[in-house]
Amino acid sequence: MAEAPDRDQQTEAPTAKRKADAVKEGDVLQSKELATAMMMLAGAAWLIALGGWFFSASKALLRGGLTLDLSNPGSFQPFDPIAAPLAQLAVPFFGLLALSIVAALAAPAMLGSLGMRGKSMTFKGSRINPLTGLKRMFGMQGGIELLKASAKVMALGCAGYWIIVGNMTDLPGLAAADPASAVAYMGDRLATAIILLCAGLVLIAGIDVPMQWLRRNQRLRMSKQQLKEEMRQSDGAPELKQAQRARQQEVLMSSARKGMADASVVLTNPSHFAVALRYRPGLDLAPVVVARGRGEVALAIKALAKAGRVPTLEYPQLTRAIYFTTRTGRTISEDLYVAVATILAFVFRLDSTLADNLAKPVVEVPATKRFDAEGRRSA
């Protein structure tokens, strides 16, 4: 097995195939900071949109649980007072669940990494290798992760410090304030802290995503030997391509031989293209293409026509028109009927006793059926 190239040898940018193979192996662009930021944003959105509903439902649930109706002791139902608050509490609960799922899917979707990859779930010994773990902890990756964790702690600490310092004069008065007012006040400060924390996490994610992209591209870089090997595999080895061409030619030759058995005439251009036509009066409604080809196949059709004494005529424009518009086994286009009928009439006269000194007829190909050697329409 070939050894992995050194980092110094990986000087070439990763190809599209290299990236696609890495994705299949589970090596995709990931950012834990972006996932954390998306989850925090989902929590902030839930707190702003449904937080009031949640606290109102919780308040109603607590009140219902502590309230007993003793007016009719014979029909005591302890769960009736809390049934309605529980139903109301389900709405913000499922709202939080839905937002969490969306946030969890949004992060990989933004990075183009959404999807399940079976190979990434297979067991790999390197994942539980202590030496690999120590290398991650004390290497460059561990240092970067430490810096990101420190930045998150600083963002959280700054947000808390800013809130405490900004509201220092109001905090002592909360002890004597109405509990509902105090809770509302603390809820507003909590929402502000979460928004500030989200802003800090989004900033960290904005720095982390490009870093992860650069690290992944660096990890997937290729050596010149790897690049040559990939190109060789993509293009196919010369011997394989030659064998494939030989098989294709054999199939085409076999098809041409079968078709030439019923051919009435062969049209050429003069050697690049060849089409063999069949027309049996009373049986065929229109001339049928029984063989067609270009290059070596065209030369083979001409050789088969010569061996079988099938008339061969040179009509370059008409040959290309039939080759590019009609498949083998199909009748020719209606707008080519006149041209082909003229040639078939000439061929049938060649077989008669009145065929001495006959001049090859001139035919006209419609402008819409004129092609060059590459199949492009020409004037």
Query: Tokens for 100?
Result: 């969490």
Q: What is the DSSP string of 169-230?
A: TTTGGGGTS-HHHHHHHHHHHHHHHHHHHHHHHHHHHHHHHHHHHHHHHHHH-B-HHHHHHH
pLDDT at 367: 87
Mean pLDDT in residue range 247-260: 71
Ranked by mean pLDDT, which of 60-74, 136-150, 324-338 comes out on top? 324-338
pLDDT in tens, 76-118: 566 666 777 788 888 888 988 999 899 989 988 888 877 766 5
* Secondary structure of residue 74 in the 3-state scheme: helix
Q: Quick one: 231 exposed, middle or buried, by C-beta within 10 A (0-12, 13-18, 19+)?
A: exposed
Query: Tokens for 4?
Result: 């992995």
Query: Tokens for 351?
Result: 């077989």
Domains of the chain: 15-66+78-113+128-232 (no CATH), 243-369 (3.40.1690.10)
CA angle 253, 294, 317 (to 5 degrees): 135
Question: Residue 313 above 60 pLDDT?
Answer: yes
Mean pLDDT in residue range 352-377: 79
Could you tell me the CA-to-CA distances from 248 to 69, 76, 189, 292, 297 in Å, in that order?
A: 90, 88, 76, 14, 10
Among the listed residues 33, 10, 35, 24, the one whose alpha carbon sits nearest the alpha carbon of residue 217: 10
Mean pLDDT in residue range 339-345: 91
Rg (CA), the chain: 40
pLDDT at 75: 61
pLDDT at 6: 58
Question: Residue 317 above 80 pLDDT?
Answer: yes
Is residue 369 within 8 Å of 326, Cβ to Cβ?
Answer: no
Count CB atoms within 10 A of the CB of residue 346: 18
Mean pLDDT in residue range 1-28: 71
Q: What is the DSSP string of 304-353?
A: HHHHTT--EEE-HHHHHHHHHH--TTSBPPGGGHHHHHHHHHHHHHHTST
Express as a percent the part of the chain with pLDDT over 90: 13
- Contacts for 369 with CB less than 8 Å, ≥ 6 apart: 321, 325, 333, 335, 336
Question: Residue 235 above 80 pLDDT?
Answer: no
pLDDT-derived band at 314, boundaries 50, 70, 90 = very high
Question: Residue 332 above 90 pLDDT?
Answer: yes
pLDDT at 324: 92
Mean pLDDT in residue range 336-344: 92
pLDDT at 248: 61
pLDDT at 359: 79
Mean pLDDT in residue range 119-128: 59
Is residue 221 within 8 Å of 15, Cβ to Cβ?
Answer: no
Count CA atoms closer than 13 A to 213's CA, side-chain side.
Answer: 12
